[in-house]
């Protein structure tokens, strides 16, 4: 297992570089070394968990993860284009879920938790160092929103766990902050500024209450934008603003983004109504890859059943870790990271790019903290 854990840490280090480490085709699926590596390690994890030494700790969260996977498997089989839907489900559901399983299986002690986390943070820091030399539109094959997701994970983890005070931690924090600024991410900018308050609420008050408030409020905001696009109709459009700071500072740019998203939300709701039970399966739109809203995506792609199990996965996560987050810095940090990413997913979607991967990896780390706390 020592060799397997070393391979696991190396895989976490290489995770940010998964788009440039060499992709290849297996049948009709495009895979990369990260996806193949994480699947291979999942086999090792299964063998370890079925032995007397296995300490996986099956939980209600795992039940909802399994039901979530089964739901999207059904939606894939029922979709009009099974090949395309299956390919997208492979990257948006299967590999992130396998990552969750592997993290939870391998990180079973405080020493291994610290080692795995530091390897992942080191990988993001090295990615930041290289990414700072590139343009916003091309950062080692990863779109800006994916780059911002990596940076957010690192910034929140380094700050809230105080790892930035450790050797190399401050350098990693500076690099990832600089990288984050280059992405000009609107929703993440708001979320990262509010994250210290969010973290304090989770630590001192009630993580489940904070998440429930966010979930209900985000659903109401989604419905308001969907059925009231006229409130966001912009005055004009200047293509030169696309890569400038005006993406964040100009209110009209925000309105233009919401105005366009409102019509994609309406289209997503119409498709959900056509197949309300299991949805239409993951699919690319005519003009964009995603619906840019996690509520609408869950409804369109997975139907009512998919929406239910995705919601229950998150609610069970916050229910299970509610009390531990008040005692453990790392547990509260993982819950904060997930919620910060979800804030962004309200206007950027969750079923594409780095978002599902980082969320499930953070959930795996959260489950590991629970196991470690129980052994202590």
Q: What does 347-373 look like in DSSP terms, one character per residue?
A: HH-SSSTTHHHHHHHHHHHHHHHHHHH
- Spatial contact of 5 and 113, defined as CB atoms under 8 Å apart: no
Q: Would you say residue 275 has pLDDT above 60? A: yes
Residue 27 has pLDDT above 60, yes or no: no
pLDDT of residue 231: 75
* Residues β-bridged to residue 25: 30
Let me know: does 282 contact 92? Beta carbons within 8 Å.
yes
Measuring CA to CA, how many Å separate 67 from each of 64, 180, 307, 308, 351? 5, 35, 11, 10, 17
Q: Which two tokens stand for residue 73?
A: 């498997």
Backbone angles phi, psi at 26, to 5 degrees: -125, 110
Answer yes or no: is pLDDT of 132 > 80. yes
pLDDT value, residue 285: 61
According to DSSP H, which parts of the chain are helical?
A: 2-14, 33-49, 60-78, 82-89, 95-106, 110-131, 144-160, 169-183, 186-204, 207-227, 246-249, 251-274, 294-320, 324-327, 329-348, 355-375
* 366, pLDDT greater than 60: yes
Element (H, E) at 168: none
CA distance linking residue 308 with residue 319, whole number of Å: 16
Our CA dihedral for 223, 224, 227, 231, rounded to 10 degrees, sits at -160
Residue 286 has pLDDT above 60, yes or no: no
206-242 confidence digits (pLDDT tens): 999 999 999 999 999 999 999 988 877 777 655 555 5
| Structure tokens belonging to residue 213 | 């408030």
pLDDT at 250 over 70: no
Q: What is the mean pLDDT of residues 271-298?
A: 82
139 phi/psi in degrees, rounded to 5: -120, 85
What pLDDT is stored for residue 293 in this prediction?
A: 92
Sign of the dihedral defined by the CA atoms of residues 288, 294, 296, 298, in that order:
positive
Question: What is the pLDDT, as a whole number, of residue 232?
Answer: 75
CA separation for the pair 298, 289 (Å, rounded):
14
């Amino acid at each position: 297992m020592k060799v397997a854990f070393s391979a696991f840490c190396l895989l976490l280090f290489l995770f940010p570089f998964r788009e440039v480490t060499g992709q290849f085709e297996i049948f009709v699926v495009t895979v990369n070394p990260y996806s193949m590596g994480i699947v291979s390690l999942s086999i090792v994890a299964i063998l370890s968990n079925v032995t007397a030494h296995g300490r996986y700790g099956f939980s209600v969260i795992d039940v909802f993860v399994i039901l979530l996977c089964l739901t999207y498997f059904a939606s894939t089989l029922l979709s009009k284009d099974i090949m395309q839907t299956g390919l997208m489900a492979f990257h948006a559901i299967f590999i992130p879920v396998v990552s969750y399983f592997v993290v939870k299986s391998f990180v079973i002690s405080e020493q291994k938790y610290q080692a795995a986390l530091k390897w992942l943070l080191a990988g993001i820091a090295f990615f930041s160092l290289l990414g700072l030399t590139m343009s916003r539109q091309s950062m080692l094959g990863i779109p800006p929103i994916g780059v911002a997701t990596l940076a957010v994970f690192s910034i929140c983890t380094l700050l809230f766990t105080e790892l930035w005070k450790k050797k190399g931690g401050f350098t990693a924090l500076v690099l990832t902050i600089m990288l984050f600024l280059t992405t000009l991410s609107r929703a993440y900018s708001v979320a990262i500024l509010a994250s210290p308050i969010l973290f304090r609420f989770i630590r001192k008050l009630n993580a489940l209450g904070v998440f429930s408030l966010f979930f209900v409020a985000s659903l109401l905001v989604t419905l308001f934008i969907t059925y009231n696009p006229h409130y966001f109709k912009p005055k004009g459009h200047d293509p030169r603003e696309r890569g400038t700071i005006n993406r964040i500072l100009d209110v009209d740019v925000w309105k233009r983004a919401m105005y366009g998203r409102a019509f994609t939300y309406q289209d997503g709701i119409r498709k959900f109504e056509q197949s309300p039970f299991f949805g239409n399966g993951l699919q690319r739109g005519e003009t964009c890859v995603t619906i840019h809203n996690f509520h609408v995506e869950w409804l369109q792609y997975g139907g009512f059943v998919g929406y239910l199990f995705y919601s229950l996965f998150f609610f069970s996560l916050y229910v299970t870790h509610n009390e531990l987050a008040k005692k453990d810095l790392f547990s509260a940090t993982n819950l904060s990271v997930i919620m910060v990413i979800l804030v962004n997913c309200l206007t950027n979607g969750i079923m594409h790019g780095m978002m599902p991967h980082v969320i499930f990896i953070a959930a795996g780390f959260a489950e590991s903290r629970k196991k470690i706390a129980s052994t202590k």
